[in-house]
A and B are shown apart, each in its own frame.
Chain A
Amino acid sequence: MRRLWIGLTYAVFLILLIAPLSKIITSAFSGGLAGLGRALGRPEAMHALMMTGAIVVIVTLLNTLFGIMMALYLVRATWLGGKIKSLLNSIVDLPYAVSPVIGGLMIVLLLGPDSIIGGFLEGTGFRVVYAFPGMIIATLFVTFPLMVREVMPVLQEIGNDQEQAASTLGAYSWLTFRKVTWPMIRWAVVYGMVLTIARSLGEFGAVLVVSGNIMNRTQTATTLVYQDVENFNVAAASGVALVLAVFSAGLLLIMEWIKKRKEVH
């Protein structure tokens, strides 16, 4: 009986994780190395990967900055009432609960060409939806809780004693943050960044709705994979998917390493 359970667990693991991964690899190399090169060398593939890279970099930077600030204000701010704090705290988790597609739809409704704000921006020549800014906003929406949720527990655990000690020793808030708070939260921040990168690398739903998936304009790696599959170009889709998978695997390894560092600290 016990053997049966062990066997079943391994079977599930194999079917769910290993089999698809090996299928992607074999399928990507179905045309040989040259085939993979051709799939990735297509102009739309190059553009899509560049697009994804740009989104990852910008979103990670913005999310790190605002995520740390949000966590600091939610934990430390004395000028926020307890009720407002707990309300904000639960709203932070909204992107976890809402489907990314609906997240994307909300952005389209709010900032699309038919909306008041979107119409105004369009008038000034600045396009949000079906353009790069909208894709950044959509990815930010999806990744926002990741940094906040990593940093907040650390801030709560260390308390504000050390920060108060720094203030009695003459240090103002920026110096206190740099010398006292930052060294204690930095591994949590790096972990949050890795999670953000992984999530923005693989984001599909929200970006698909907001971008309109226009080839060579607003197409990302994931939406390109989707389109290649639609066009029965499975080998090309596998090639792009393999690039994403390799990146994600690398991130997982980094995450394991950071986890160990975090525990040491």
Chain B
Amino acid sequence: MHIQVRNLDKHFGSFHAVKDVSFDIEKGHLIGLLGPSGGGKTSILRMLAGLESPDSGEIAFHGQVVNDIPPQERGIGFVFQNYALFKHMTVFDNIAFGLKVKKAPKSKIKERVMELVELTGLKGFEKRYPHQLSGGQRQRVAFARALAPEPQLLLLDEPFAAIDAKIRQELRSWLRELIERVGITSIFVTHDQDEAIEVADEIMIINQGRVEQKGTPWDIYKEPKTPFVATFIGESTMVEEASVLKGFDGAGSRGQARALIRPEYIELGHEQDFPILSATEEGIVRHLHFRGSEWLVEVEVKGRKLVTYRSLEKDTLQPGQEIRVLIHRAYLFNEEDSWIEENRLKVDPMPVMI
């Protein structure tokens, strides 16, 4: 289902939850709404479902405005954060509910429920009650129940929040595969960036009721459009005056700028490791943290602390050791603008042709 949202606005009392939000979602896409708690993600999702009505703005499915259509008629499936399974019904009856409401023939209900039970790996659990299931199984039931009436749009509110970290990982890839197989347009809300990056085709970053950026996980990571997105996605350290760093002294040309530097923008090494030594800074290793598969290194450059990762294959550094630091690029921003700048000195000013 193609979804258009235009100038959506919502207040809860004096709290302005959603501010002038507009976006388009193409048919068959899996979208993640990502942002800090209380940012308005769930409100947007609930307005799409018809569980809340917007103060102003338009929601259109397939080009038809659905603002005045009740949730019962919108053809959506909704998976609630706590699943909201019907406690007094068996797994079978939970999944069959939407079909029974539509008065589908009994044989067809049974067929469809068994198909979904199979698809969600719940075979053998049809007669159980929700309280007899594990968290992961409950989530699968909620998912099967939402899919049973063949909705055109699937909405998921923090679908993995109530599940153990270990099973969460498993369920994420399971969900992604399943949605791909069913081919349904889906939107899910999460505050976990790993989850959004891993599961979604496209991410919308939502903060304080606004869409900060929409794009593929890779685009957002590579080219954050606002400082909020840059700090929210991935790790980074902030340097207040970008111009003090070697190779970024031109930053001042656009006014005073601050720099965000991701760990992977930084390369550590000895003098002989860098072909153009003039592009590097002198640094001192301050702390080393073992992170299972690599070292997290805190290095001090001109009195500022930078953070980077270092492979276990390279020689182990010692705290207090002097080292060369090359900053490949930085995400720069000031009040008016933000941009990504490469280290100017990294490219040999006088290349020698061989």
Q: Give me the interface of A with B, judged by CB distance under 8 Å.
A: 158, 161-162, 164-172, 175, 179-180, 183-184, 265
Name 27 interchain pairs, CB-CB below 8 A, sorted by A.
A158-B87, A161-B80, A162-B85, A162-B86, A162-B87, A164-B51, A164-B71, A164-B80, A165-B84, A166-B86, A166-B97, A167-B70, A167-B72, A168-B74, A168-B77, A168-B146, A169-B98, A169-B101, A170-B72, A170-B101, A170-B102, A171-B97, A172-B72, A180-B86, A183-B88, A184-B87, A265-B88
* Bound-complex Cα distance A169 to B87 (A): 16
* Bound-complex Cα distance A183 to B80 (A): 21
The smallest C-beta distance from A76 to any residue of chain B, in angstroms, reads 14
Residues of A within 8 A of B102 (CB): 170
15 more A-B residue pairs beyond the given contacts A168-B78, A184-B87, with a C-beta to C-beta distance below 8 A: A161-B82, A162-B84, A164-B71, A164-B80, A164-B84, A165-B80, A168-B50, A168-B72, A169-B97, A169-B98, A169-B101, A170-B98, A170-B102, A171-B97, A179-B97
Tell me the nearest residue of chain B to A82, going by C-beta: B13
Whether a CB of chain A sits under 8 angstroms from the CB of B149 is yes
Across the interface, do B84 and A171 meet the contact criterion of CB distance under 8 Å? Answer: no
Residues of B within 8 A of A164 (CB): 51, 71, 78, 80, 84
* Bound-complex Cα distance A167 to B149 (A): 13
Residues of B within 8 A of A167 (CB): 51, 70-72
Across the interface, do B82 and A169 meet the contact criterion of CB distance under 8 Å? Answer: no
Residues of B within 8 A of A184 (CB): 87-88
The smallest C-beta distance from B50 to any residue of chain A, in angstroms, reads 8
Binary contact readout B69-109 vs A (1 if CB under 8 angstroms, 0 otherwise): 01111101110101011111000000001100110000000
Tell me the nearest residue of chain A to B102, going by C-beta: A170
Interface of A is mostly: helix
Tell me the nearest residue of chain A to B155, going by C-beta: A168
Residues of B within 8 A of A175 (CB): 101
* Bound-complex Cα distance A175 to B100 (A): 11
Residues of B within 8 A of A171 (CB): 72, 97, 101
Whether a CB of chain A sits under 8 angstroms from the CB of B297 is no
* Bound-complex Cα distance A220 to B152 (A): 62
Of listed B50, B71, B84, B148, residue having the most chain A CB within 10 A: B84
Tell me the nearest residue of chain B to A265, going by C-beta: B88
Of listed B76, B88, B146, residue having the most chain A CB within 10 A: B88
**CB contacts between A and B, total, < 8 Å:** 61
Whether a CB of chain A sits under 8 angstroms from the CB of B10 is no
* Bound-complex Cα distance A172 to B103 (A): 13
The smallest C-beta distance from B91 to any residue of chain A, in angstroms, reads 15
* Bound-complex Cα distance A172 to B70 (A): 10
Residues of B within 8 A of A183 (CB): 88
Whether a CB of chain A sits under 8 angstroms from the CB of B49 is yes
Residues of B within 8 A of A168 (CB): 49-51, 71-72, 74, 76-78, 146
The smallest C-beta distance from A223 to any residue of chain B, in angstroms, reads 43
Across the interface, do A169 and B84 meet the contact criterion of CB distance under 8 Å? Answer: no
Residues of B within 8 A of A166 (CB): 86, 97, 101
The smallest C-beta distance from B37 to any residue of chain A, in angstroms, reads 18
* Bound-complex Cα distance A177 to B64 (A): 30
Whether a CB of chain A sits under 8 angstroms from the CB of B145 is yes
* Bound-complex Cα distance A158 to B74 (A): 25
Tell me the nearest residue of chain A to B77, going by C-beta: A168
Residues of B within 8 A of A172 (CB): 72
Of listed A161, A162, A180, residue having the most chain B CB within 10 A: A162
The smallest C-beta distance from A155 to any residue of chain B, in angstroms, reads 14
Q: 6 closest pairs, A vs B, by CB?
A: A161-B84, A169-B98, A168-B78, A165-B84, A170-B101, A183-B88
* Bound-complex Cα distance A170 to B69 (A): 12
